[in-house]
Amino acid sequence: MTGSRRCVVVVHDPQDSIGVLPDIAAELDLDPFVVSVEDALPAPSEVDCAIVLGSPESAYDSRLPWLAPEQLWLRALVSASIPVFGVCFGSQALARALGGSVHRNHTPEIGWTPVDTADPALLAPGPWLNFHFDAFTVPPRATEVARTALAPQAYVEGRCMGVQFHPEISEEMYEGWQRYWRGSPSGARMLAGLGDLPERLRAELRERGDLNAKMCAELLGAFLERTATVGE
């Protein structure tokens, strides 16, 4: 392919940051453009790849007015063989579109977490930042790539990959999370129960940020390189 790949980055709130993606786009030959899930999502013919980011919502919550259209859109991308990379909520939504399921996990998984990876050339063992209360089941035709003791962490099917953690995390994105939590009754309750953990995560992100961005670029680069030849 000549020229940059048109990469739609789907956010679940118009105010969401897309983390380190703008910083690593040129390295990956990507031309990213952001679309809110609440707006019209682009047709498969209009994109070369898609990255679907996180949300504080649950991917099984049928009350969300945009969830069913997002599921239809993801299935359309899969049918059109468009590479799709899902992150956290995005990995869960993609898992559902591929025939898997999503459920409330028995315990939250929060912090910088090493993963047991079956394919370190694609996915390094980390540590990666996890912050989730739900978990996906690996879709029936997908291959599990990584897991922790608490949850599956990554899967691949065709030109799709989902990761439960946040490789794209940046300080700007994390501060957006903090603002959301402080402004939400449920988020404020969660913060109250976490003690000094949010501040420790902020400090660790400041320390790990450059390395994490490098790992994110390597992961997305490996994913895009592999998906370029799938089915050929």
- Strands of the sheet with 116-117, listed across from one edge: 30-36, 5-11, 49-52, 84-87, 160-163, 152-157, 143-147, 116-117
Tell me, what's the pLDDT at 1?
43
Q: At what angle do helices 197-227 and 185-194 cross, to 10 degrees?
A: 110
Phi, then psi, of 68 in degrees rounded to 5: -60, -45
Name the stretches of the chain with pLDDT < 50. 1
From the list 43, 40, 18, the residue with the least C-alpha distance to 30 is: 18
Tell me, what's the pLDDT at 192?
78
Residues 6+ apart with CB under 8 A from 65: none
Tell me, what's the pLDDT at 187?
78
From the list 147, 123, 152, 148, the residue with the least C-alpha distance to 136 is: 152
CB 18 within 8 A of CB 168: yes
Say if pTM beats, i.e. exceeds, 0.75.
yes
Tell me, what's the pLDDT at 231?
58
CB 112 within 8 A of CB 127: yes
Q: What positions carry a catalytic annotation? A: 88, 166, 168
Domain 5-227 has CATH 3.10.310.30: no
Q: Cα–Cα distance between 72 and 6 in angstroms, integer? A: 20
